[in-house]
Amino acid sequence: MTALAPISTKDRILDAAELLFANDGFEATSLRAITAEAGVNLASVNYHFQSKDALLHAVVARRAGPINQRRIEALQQLEEKLRNEPIPIDELLEAFFRPVTECNVLVPRMMVRFHYLEARETFRAIYETHFKPVANRFAPALRKALPHLKPEEAFLRMQFTMGAFAQLAAGSGTMEVVSEGRMHAPTREEALRQLIQFTAAGFRAPSLGAGL
Amino acid sequence: MTALAPISTKDRILDAAELLFANDGFEATSLRAITAEAGVNLASVNYHFQSKDALLHAVVARRAGPINQRRIEALQQLEEKLRNEPIPIDELLEAFFRPVTECNVLVPRMMVRFHYLEARETFRAIYETHFKPVANRFAPALRKALPHLKPEEAFLRMQFTMGAFAQLAAGSGTMEVVSEGRMHAPTREEALRQLIQFTAAGFRAPSLGAGL
DNA sequence: GTCTATAGTCGGATAGAC
DNA sequence: GTCTATCCGACTATAGAC
């Protein structure tokens, strides 16, 4: 049924915008490119959404909702299973990242752009709305999992982790390009396991103590 | 002497472009914004550089040359000191990242944008010219330092590392913003040490073996 | 809801005087 | 080398017919 349902103009626009925002960035993507990709009329964007900025919000919101819900569900399951005991860092990381890797590939790439590298005010608003609440939900469990780290260290390492993930999400075919075809890209599952292996070890590394 | 030397129009443009490209991105930065920031005439950009793309190349080239030279010098010193023995991964990482953190803060932020997230052909060319040669120079030492990893794993972890660094470089005041003022940002030296601590531990983590 | 047509703005780049 | 003035294309957004 869903497979046969006709795709509305609104959804065609959202799909095209997601694709182009993820691949080319927000500034570099024109509404003309989006409507051409979607096979719809230029004016329909301003009819269904009010502006390019509002379209961006809609594109993010469509994906962020389900992802964040599954993140929180996964965290709740871990909390119930371990009842007050600290959740191992690799399980926390999996709860946070698996919901992202399991959805459309474009989404993480797009989110990465928005969360970290586009500087406009719009992206700040998106961060506040869609990312911050989840981060706050995970923060206490993260602190309990990392008693050996000072808050600043834990925070910095969480940033490193987000960056490592971003790198993974942003790169489409990076491995083939850089290695000039000698290596094959990992599957999503392999990449996720490698990410967790790498970042969990980073989190477990001793505190640097004095200084920070 | 250098402090009193008058700043040429060309350099004023390069400085302004670096600032704005780093903060707002290439697409979002207009030549008009650059010339306004630099306090020079609009037409001077097309006089000194031929186009916006060529200006971008010039902005990157001015910084990438010295940085890469110091990276390779640091690597050579390690190679001479250790004579055929593998270089510890944390020393390799320091040789690679310290030259970047020691220059103007804007540069890494800008390079991060260009290396990973702006999709245009221009950025590919910049990568090929300024980044790939250094990566190739470091690659053998990296392999020797990581005998427990398969090539694909080592490569993937190097990507994670670049992402972690990118996150650090891209965020100006991220820690203050996200923690709502409860934490202070680390100094550059602290941040570098934390980055190396984190990523070196990630590299040392056991291979995941089968699968990848 | 979907189109055409266009307003109004801003972008990169250039011509030509000084 | 530096300016003013301008071309011309591309952009977002909207008005108004259907």
Cβ-Cβ contacts under 8 Å, B25 against chain A: 25, 27, 117-119
Distances in Å between the Cα of B112 and the Cα atoms of B25, B83, B163, B164, B193 are 11, 33, 9, 11, 19
Q: Does A32 share its domain with A113?
A: no
Nearest Cβ partner for B159 among A160, A171, A202? A171
For the segment B126-172, what is each residue's pLDDT rounded down to a tens digit? 888 998 999 999 999 999 999 999 999 999 999 999 989 988 887 66
Domain holding A147: CATH number? 1.10.357.10
How does residue A4 score in pLDDT terms, banded at 50, 70 and 90?
A: low
Cβ-Cβ contacts under 8 Å, B113 against chain A: 117
For the segment A148-165, what is each residue's pLDDT rounded down to a tens digit? 999 999 999 999 999 899
Q: Does A196 share its domain with A171?
A: yes
Q: Does B40 share its domain with B131?
A: no
Distances in Å between the Cα of A58 and the Cα atoms of A47, A134, B210 are 14, 19, 41
For the segment B40-55, what is each residue's pLDDT rounded down to a tens digit? 999 999 999 999 999 9
How does residue A124 score in pLDDT terms, banded at 50, 70 and 90?
A: confident
Nearest Cβ partner for B195 among A23, A160, A186? A160
Average confidence (pLDDT) over A90-113: 86
How many Cβ atoms from other residues are within 10 Å of residue B9's Cβ?
A: 17
pLDDT of residue A37: 97
How many Cβ atoms from other residues are within 10 Å of residue A86's Cβ?
A: 14
pLDDT of residue B1: 52
For the segment B50-96, what is each residue's pLDDT rounded down to a tens digit? 999 999 999 999 999 999 999 999 999 999 999 999 999 999 999 99
Could you tell me the residue range of the domain that residue A174 belongs to? 62-204
Q: Does B116 share its domain with B169?
A: yes
Q: Does A131 share its domain with A169?
A: yes
> Which nucleotide in the DNA or RNA is closest to residue B48, CA to C1'?
D1
Highest mean pLDDT out of A56-65, A107-116, A178-187: A56-65
Q: CA B112 to CA B123: how far, in whole Å? A: 11
Domain total of chain A? 2
Asked whether B164 and B198 are in contact (CB, 8 A), the reply is: yes
Q: Does A40 share its domain with A98?
A: no
Mean pLDDT of chain B: 89
Cβ-Cβ contacts under 8 Å, A191 against chain B: 156
- What's the Å distance between residue A25 CA and nucleotide D8 C1'? 26
Angle at CA of residue B168, ends B167 and B172, nearest 5°:
100
Average confidence (pLDDT) over B103-117: 72
